[in-house]
Amino acid sequence: MKTDIILAGVGGQGILSIAATIGMSALHNNLHLKQAEVHGMSQRGGAVQSNMRISDKPIASDLIPMGGADIILSVEPMESLRYLPFLKKGGWLVTNTTPFININNYPEVEEILAEIKKQEKHIALDADTIASEFGSKRSSNIVMLGAATPFFDISFESFEEGIRQFFGRKGEDIVNVNLQALRAGRDFTEKNR
């Protein structure tokens, strides 16, 4: 069993908390894990990604080869397209549809969504709206994680455990909001895949 995921977004959008939650879930299952993060200059509003690899066998490279990712999980629509050369044939593109516009030549959102829909296997959801429905816009990244969970060889319960561990320090309320967010994302994918 091996799952390679590219997490994508813009510096400051919180893809590292998604990564950390997946990491905790993987450890919960005693799986091997490698997770290459971007720190430094790009964190100032630039394009950022994290290569996350989970396997029941030892993992060699920290970087996912081109054409090797099972999942691209993006918290921003244009960023989801930037890593297409890494997506495996038949891999899933899971993306938020809320754009993060901090450049003045940002393309038309309609065109981006059309491009996403060209992908045979895609899940596109407005995670920001879903998250604000239960009053926590900040947990939109966990909604996105929830939407990708069906494509992992890890049980949903393990992801819930990951949430409890990662957010545990911040108190019961934060844990519950994020559990709700995880479930909401999962539900969306189950209805729309």
Partner 1 sequence: MQKLLLLGDEAIAQGALDGGISGIYAYPGTPSTEITEYVQASKFAKENNIHSDWSVNEKTAMEAGLGMSYAGKRSMVCMKHVGLNVAADAFINSSITGVNGGLIVVSADDPSMHSSQNEQDSRFYGNFAMIPMLEPVNQQEAYEMAYYGYELSEKFKLPVLLRVTTRLAHSRAGVETLEQKPQNDVSLPSNLTQFVLLPSIARKQYKTLLSNQRSIEEASEESIFNKYTDGSDKTLGIITTGIANNYLMENFQDTELNHPVLKIGQYPIPRKQINKMLKECDKVLVIEEGYPIVEEMLKGYQEAGTPIIGRLDGTLPRDGELNPNLVANALGLETILDGSIPELVKNRPPSMCVGCGHIDAYNALNEAIIPYGVGRVFADIGCYTLGALPPYNAVNSCVDMGASITMAKGAADAGMVGVVAVIGDSTFTHSGITGLIDCVSENTPVTVIISDNFTTGMTGGQDSKALGKIEDICKGVGVDPDHIRVFKPLKKNMEEMVQIMKEELEYKGVSVIIPRRQCVQTMKNKKLAEQLISLNLK
Q: Which residues bind partner 1 (CB under 8 A)?
A: 10-11, 19, 23, 27, 32-47, 51, 59-68, 78-79, 81-82, 84-89, 102-103, 105-107, 111-112, 115
Q: Return the number of the residue (27 or 187) whose C-beta is nearest partner 1.
A: 27
Q: Considering the complex, what minimum distance in angstroms separates the CB of residue 179 from partner 1?
A: 22
Q: Which of 72, 92, 96 is nearest to 82 (CA)?
A: 72
Q: Return the number of the residue (46 or 187) whose C-beta is nearest partner 1.
A: 46
DSSP-assigned states of every residue in the chain: -EEEEEEEEETTS-HHHHHHHHHHHHHHTT-EEEEE---SGGGTTSEEEEEEEEESS----SSPPTT-EEEEEESSHHHHHHTGGGEEEEEEEEEE------STTPPPHHHHHHHHHTSSSEEEE-HHHHHHHTT-GGGHHHHHHHHHGGGSSS-HHHHHHHHHHHHGGG-HHHHHHHHHHHHHHHHHHHHH-
Q: Return the number of the residue (57 or 191) whose C-beta is nearest partner 1.
A: 57
Q: Considering the complex, what minimum distance in angstroms separates the CB of residue 86 from partner 1?
A: 8
Q: Considering the complex, what minimum distance in angstroms separates the CB of residue 133 from partner 1?
A: 26
Q: Considering the complex, what minimum distance in angstroms separates the CB of residue 190 from partner 1?
A: 26
Q: Return the number of the residue (82 or 138) whose C-beta is nearest partner 1.
A: 82
Q: What is the token pair recorded at 59? A: 């993992």
Place of tokens 């890890």: 154
Q: Considering the complex, what minimum distance in angstroms separates the CB of residue 125 from partner 1?
A: 20
Q: Return the number of the residue (27 or 174) whose C-beta is nearest partner 1.
A: 27
